[in-house]
Amino acid sequence: MPVAAGVDAFTAFERLLRTLCLNEFPCGTGSWRSSQGQGEPSSLFSVTTRDYGAENEQVETLEELVSSPFSPYSVDYTWSKEARQLRETAVKSPWLISKDFILNHFESLRIVDKSVNGVDNAMLQFPSLKELTLSANLLTTLDSKNLPRSLKVLELVANQISDLEPLCNQPPKLHHLGLSHNRISAVHDYITGEHWPTLLSLDLSYNNLTDLKDIIQKLLTLPKLRNLALIGNPLAFIPGYRGFTIDSLRSLTILDDTQISADEKHRFKGLARRRDFVRDEAQLVVKIQTVTGIPKPPELDITEEVPEYPITNRYYYVEFMFLEDFASKESKSLEEGEKDEGKEEAEKKEDEEEITTENEEGQVDNTPIHENGNMNTDVQSNGSVPVGTFFTALESQAPSVIPPEDEGEEEDLPALTPELKLSSYRTQGVQWTEESAGTLEMAFNQELIIDDLPALKQCLRQGFQIAVKEDKILSYPPEETDDRQSQASQKKGGKEKGDKKEKPKDAKGDKGGKKKKKEPEIELVHSPPEVSVLGTYTLDLEEFINGEHIAQEICTCHVTEKETIEEEVSDKAEDKKEKKKKGSGMDVVKGKKGNDGKEKDKGKKPAKLDKMDSKAKLSSAKAQIDEEGEEEEPPPPPLTVAVRVELVKWSTAQDSIPKTEPTEQAPQ
């Protein structure tokens, strides 16, 4: 894409000055000005009294055209406080307008969003300039040598400044410096009292500052600092950010546009001396309370006799993606360190084996292969999943459920957060019960400690991704029992009539065997979980960057398209079955019209067998009858999740003391 060419600050000022039209109507010394006071016309009788002075305007009329906001000659005066006054001067005394007069006239300039990419030495021509705003431009740096010495306020908001060194090159004695919404990641020794001895107000909000204690140490050297803004930086996520700043900079009166009260100073007194307790990490508490609107499992609606196996169990839970906890990182690093030691020994052994195989065969294959012939892949067992598999994380761990063809398609999907490495967290699985009636208590409460503050800021911008999932697990008896039953059935089929008397005993024995199989639940074989996503939601947490610390919401989830597709497929399957029913009925009718009565019986028997065997058809027929009897069924309740996310903030200096957990716990 073409990049817009930037201009210097003085060139942008000249373009704004042209919008005032100082030499055009109604300003300037044009023919439209009244001749009164500059001599009478040559002949008083050249025109009538009605037409006399029609081509000229009075000064009062010209002033009204300039000052009135409803005038067609009104222009934009917001770029300078002195712009309107300069234009009025061009009407009253146009002979005063000159280059020196204009440069001396301006005390404030607002050059906003004018593609300014540099400040040249032409700006030194403003001897009276006190306020300069260069916001929303393309500045990457600014040399303070080119700033007027009379400057008191400098606003450089929403630029691309990352290097502060040129700005500290003989700067003017500023009272306010605005550097918010830039790319500053460190202040080093540039924001100190040595360079800014008269600074009263400093705005460093919405940058990339992370080291709170280092920045406070630099700001302590500013002798006159009274107003400070650091909100929007990653360091503002630290629990003791506000208290530590207030107690360290005792002369501050305003922090992040909020007045510092005497009570607040008293509550945080002494926190500056507890520097070791103030760490560059954030604490978040995630609470998932209830999930409502989960439909009743279809197994509970069946009132007829069903086969004993498989036993279907459905577990519902909430899964969300977020940054990895600091505690889990430490445990991982310890485990990886132990693994590395074991790997080094294993690699030495492998090298020795490879050398021997090279000597014997001359060729070596270093690709690690399992016994089943598949390539070796790393599997994460701590719950963390790849970034692009938020909604299919658990499905990828169940190869028996997902065919291998789908795995390649999932890899081609775009990653949700390509810059971040997110981990998955999930609540405990809860089953649907008649008492709950679709409202499941999750009672999930977890504290996350995040030490990567810039990544946390980016993660909060993307939102809190939630998914309500269902695990369907089928339980079967062991395969050995199935083999024994099949062998027994074959023997029974080959026995003679004399052996038929023993069938009731065998049947009793089978019943007794079945009872024994029900008792040991451990013997059941469980299939891998079939994971399905019931709904998704993204909770907006961007307000945490703006200073909020609590987000509580009942999230109405969006039902995934996968479910609707499955419903459509099932509906189409039922329609096909009904069409087959109708077709078989027509065949029966045709059989009745035939010559033999045998065809009638042949048409009737399959219909009876279908009615006895198709339980799904009966349930669908009942549903159709209910739909015909009722006009409209109420829509199902929405799928909602009660979520609360809190960014921990200290309210007193006492909160900095870490809470010690009890060493002994009561036996459960």
261's tokens: 């009260």
**Nearest Cα to 452, choosing from 260, 238, 616, 273?**
238
What type of residue is 199?
L
Q: Which helix (H) or strand (E) holds 476?
A: strand 464-476
Report cis status (omega within 30 of 0) of the bond before 636. Answer: no
CA–centroid distance for 80 within its chain: 40
CB atoms within 10 A of CB 153: 16
Report CA-CA distances (Å) from 468 to 157, 380, 442, 533.
42, 21, 11, 6
What's the CA gap between 327 and 535, in Å, rounded?
A: 30
> Would you tell me the crossing angle of helices 241-248 and 212-219 to the nearest 10 degrees?
20
DSSP designation for 153: E
pLDDT digits (tens, 9 = 90+) for 273-321: 988 899 999 999 999 999 998 888 887 777 667 777 788 888 999 999 9
263's tokens: 């009570």
Q: Are 331 and 648 in contact (CB under 8 A)?
A: no
Q: Are 536 and 558 in contact (CB under 8 A)?
A: yes
229's tokens: 């803004």
Q: Are 290 and 642 in contact (CB under 8 A)?
A: yes
Scanning 519-560, the segments in alpha helix (DSSP H) are none
Report CA-CA distances (Å) from 535 to 398, 487, 571.
20, 46, 21
Which residues are paired to 212 by β-bridges?
A: none
Scanning 381-424, the segments in alpha helix (DSSP H) are 404-411
How confident is the model at residue 23, as a pLDDT? 81
| Triad 453, 390, 327: Cα angle to 5° | 40
Strands 640-647 and 176-178: unpaired
> Would you tell me the crossing angle of helices 598-613 and 615-629 to the nearest 10 degrees?
80
How confident is the model at residue 571, as a pLDDT? 52
Task: Output phi, psi for 559, to 5 deg.
Answer: -70, 135
Strands 558-559 and 530-539: antiparallel
241's tokens: 């950010």
Q: Are 376 and 368 in contact (CB under 8 A)?
A: yes
What's the CA gap between 260 and 29, in Å, rounded?
A: 56
Q: Are 178 and 151 in contact (CB under 8 A)?
A: no
27's tokens: 């300003």
DSSP designation for 189: T
Strands 153-155 and 131-133: parallel
What's the CA gap between 232 and 562, in Å, rounded?
A: 39
Ranges of the chain whose pLDDT falls below 50: 1-3, 35-54, 355-418, 480-481, 484, 488, 491-492, 494-518, 562-569, 572-573, 576, 580, 582-615, 618, 662-668
Q: Are 374 and 380 in contact (CB under 8 A)?
A: no
Q: Is 0.75 topped by the overall pTM?
A: no
**Nearest Cα to 550, choosing from 639, 424, 651?**
651
How confident is the model at residue 25, as a pLDDT? 78
